[in-house]
Amino acid sequence: MDGRPHDHNYKGKVCVTGAAGFLASWLIKRLLLSGYHVIGTVRDPGDDNKVGHLWKLEGARERLHIVKADLMVDGSFDAPIMGCHGVFHTASPVAILRPAVDGTLNVLRSCKKNPCLRRVVLTSSSSTVRARDDFEPGMLLDESCWSSEELCERLKVWYALSKTQAERAAWKFCEENNIDLVTLLPSFVVGPSLSPALSSTVSDVLGLLRGEKDKFEFYGRMGFVHIDDVALSHILLYENEDAKGRHLCSSTVLDNDELVAILSARYPALPIPKRFEKLDRAHYDFDVSKLKGLGMKFRSIEEMFDDCVQSLKEQGHLSLITSTDH
């Protein structure tokens, strides 16, 4: 007996690291709706401010277990991962650089000990592809591209550097230890937050909608993708045996001026900036044909921001902003 519930919809047991996060919460929502039994890891399972929203998800009471694990504590993922058929490593450490690599390898060492493991899906980032200074303007970036670690260090782009180093370390470990790994490389993720505590990504969007320019001025040209599409893409990569290697996950690439032109027209009551200072950034697009070839369809920029704005209003973050705020 493997302890499997007597349920014809049972899809198997999977582990999601960093379960309380913006993306992980959506992934768990989708996994539960699909019939999976989910083990979610967090640093403090008793912190209701962080995990309370997960217990409200459909199927959570029956098929969700939230357990303690810490990326920086060696072996703490052994018990949560043991017996799981799939592992979705979405967690990122509070600090970056070495902890990102060490935390990823900590999780993968636990995966290696699990004889039931079928596949690991690692959440990487499109920043592992686009931090380069050697491509022609208008170039189509695909999964064969890697960011320049030297450039990231020189420009102090620590997020891209940590994600690049962590993904490279994961590929090396999994190839040496015969672990079936696939990676997902989302662009900038937009959509509703299931948690009342806003992630840095959602906070950046909220700032833009409130008229703040700093973050998006630095971002320049960027890809965007709906949070639910990212969650669904993780499950697609786990379930589809034909999925191999890296997979860019992005709907639309826009310059920040193009973005605010769309948003200003769509939400005229919000004090969205009208333009940004022009930065010397290369013009690029993403080739997402690999993920689309597996059947993924992406929602539009309008849909992702509509869902995000509606959520921010419902949570009270935009309730005081009207056209008189200009």
**pLDDT the model gives residue 155:** 87
pLDDT in 10s for each residue of the chain, 326 residues: 334 444 546 789 999 999 999 999 999 999 999 999 999 999 999 999 999 999 999 999 999 999 999 999 999 999 999 999 999 999 876 556 677 899 999 999 999 999 999 999 999 999 999 888 887 777 899 999 999 999 989 988 888 999 999 999 999 999 999 999 999 999 999 999 999 989 999 999 999 999 998 888 888 889 999 999 999 999 999 999 999 999 999 999 999 999 999 999 999 999 999 888 877 777 889 999 999 999 999 999 999 999 999 999 999 998 645 443 33
Average pLDDT of the chain is: 91
Cα–Cα distance between 317 and 311 in angstroms, integer? Answer: 9
**Strand 119-123 and strand 188-190: pairing?**
unpaired
Enter the tokens of residue 166. Answer: 């962590």
Site of tokens 């948003």: 263
User: Alpha-carbon distance 77 to 67, whole Å?
Assistant: 10
Contact 117, 47 (CB under 8 A): no
The pLDDT, as a whole number, for residue 97 is: 65
What does the DSSP 8-state code read for residue 238? H
Q: Where are the domains of the chain?
A: 13-316
Half-sphere exposure of 40 (CA within 13 A, CB side): 31
Task: Name the residue type at position 256.
Answer: N
The total number of residues shown for the chain amounts to: 326
Burial of 1 (0-12, 13-18, 19+ CB in 10 A): exposed
Q: CA–CA separation, 235 vs 62, rounded Å?
A: 20
CA distance 85 to 117: 4
pLDDT for 92 equals 77
Superfamily the domain 13-316 falls into? NAD(P)-binding Rossmann-like Domain (3.40.50.720)
CA dihedral for 262, 315, 89, 241, sign (positive or negative): negative
Encoding tokens for residue 42?
A: 């967090």
Strand arrangement of the beta sheet that strand 37-42 belongs to: 64-68, 37-42, 13-17, 86-89, 119-123, 181-186, 245-249
**122 in Cβ contact with 104 (< 8 Å):** yes
Please tell me the predicted confidence (pLDDT) of residue 2: 39
User: Which two three-digit tokens encode residue 294?
Assistant: 């597996």
CA angle 118, 122, 123 (to 5 degrees): 145
As beta bridge partners, residue 84 has none
Within 152-302, strands assigned E span 181-186, 188-190, 222-226, 245-249, 252-254, 284-286
The Cα 20–Cα 93 span in angstroms is 13
| Model confidence pTM above 0.75 | yes
Neighbours of 2 (CB within 10 A): 7
Element (H, E) at 141: strand 139-141
